Chain A
Amino acid sequence: MNERRVISVIVLNEHGVLTRITGLFAARGYNIETLTVAPIPGSRYSRLTIVTKGSPRVIEQIIKQLHKLIPVYKVIEHSELVEKEMVMAKIPLEERLADVEALCRAYNGNIVNIGKDTAIIMAADEPSRIRNFVEALKRFNPKEIVRSGVVAIER
Chain B
Amino acid sequence: MAQMSGAQMVVEAMREEGVEVVFGYPGGAIMNVYDEIYKHRYFEHILTRHEQAAVHAADGYARATGNVGVAFVTSGPGFTNAVTGLATAYMDSVPMVVVSGQVPISMIGTDAFQEIDAVGISRPCTKHNFLVQSADELPKILAEAFYIAKTGRPGPVHVDIPKDVTAQMGEFNYPKSVKLDTYKPTVKGNMRQIKKAVEAIKEAKKPVFYLGGGIISSNSADMVRELVAHTQIPAVETLMARGVLRYDDPMLLGMVGMHGSYAANMAMSEADLLIALGPRFDDRVTGKLSEFAKYAKIIHVDIDPSSIGKLVNVDYPIVGDLKEVLKEMVPLAKKSVEPQRYEAWREILQRYRELHPLTFEDSDEVLKPQWVIQRVGEKLKGKARIATDVGQHQMWTAQFYPFTRPRELITSGGLGTMGFGFPAAMGAKRGVRDEVAVNISGDGSILMNIQELITAVEYRLPVINIILNNHYLGMVRQWQTFFYDKRYAETDLSMQPDFVKVAEAFGGVGYRVKTKEEFDKALDDAISKGVVALIDVIVDRYENVLPMVPAGGSLYNMLLEYKD
Residue positions of A touching B, CB distance < 8 A: 11-12, 15-16, 19-20, 23, 27, 57, 60-61, 64-65, 67-68, 70-73
Contacts and interface: CB of A to CB of B under 8 A. Distances in A.
B181 A73 contact: yes
A64 B181 contact: no
Given A15-B133, A68-B304, A70-B148, A20 B182 contact: no
Contacts of A15: 131, 133
A147 B524 CA distance: 74
Nearest to B123: A23
Contact of B183 (A27, A60, A65, A70): A70
A68 B127 CA distance: 9
A20 B123 contact: yes
B120 interface: yes
Q: Is the interface of A mostly helix, strand, loop or mixed?
A: helix
A56 B182 CA distance: 25
Q: Which 7 A-B pairs have the closest CB atoms?
A: A64-B306, A70-B128, A73-B182, A70-B183, A27-B124, A64-B305, A65-B306
A121 B131 CA distance: 42
Given A68-B305, A72-B182, A73-B182, 13 more contacts: A15-B133, A16-B119, A16-B131, A23-B123, A23-B124, A61-B306, A64-B305, A64-B306, A67-B305, A68-B306, A70-B127, A70-B183, A73-B181
Contacts of A20: 123
B180 interface: yes
29 contacts: A11-B182, A12-B182, A15-B133, A16-B119, A16-B123, A16-B131, A19-B123, A27-B124, A57-B309, A60-B309, A61-B306, A64-B305, A64-B306, A64-B310, A65-B306, A67-B305, A67-B306, A68-B304, A68-B305, A68-B306, A70-B127, A70-B128, A70-B148, A70-B180, A70-B182, A70-B183, A71-B182, A72-B182, A73-B181
Interface string B88-131: 00000000000000000000000000000001100110011001
Interface in B188-238: none
A22 to B, nearest CB: 11
A93 to B, nearest CB: 43
Contacts of A11: 182
A12 B306 CA distance: 21
Contact of B310 (A12, A61, A71, A73): A61
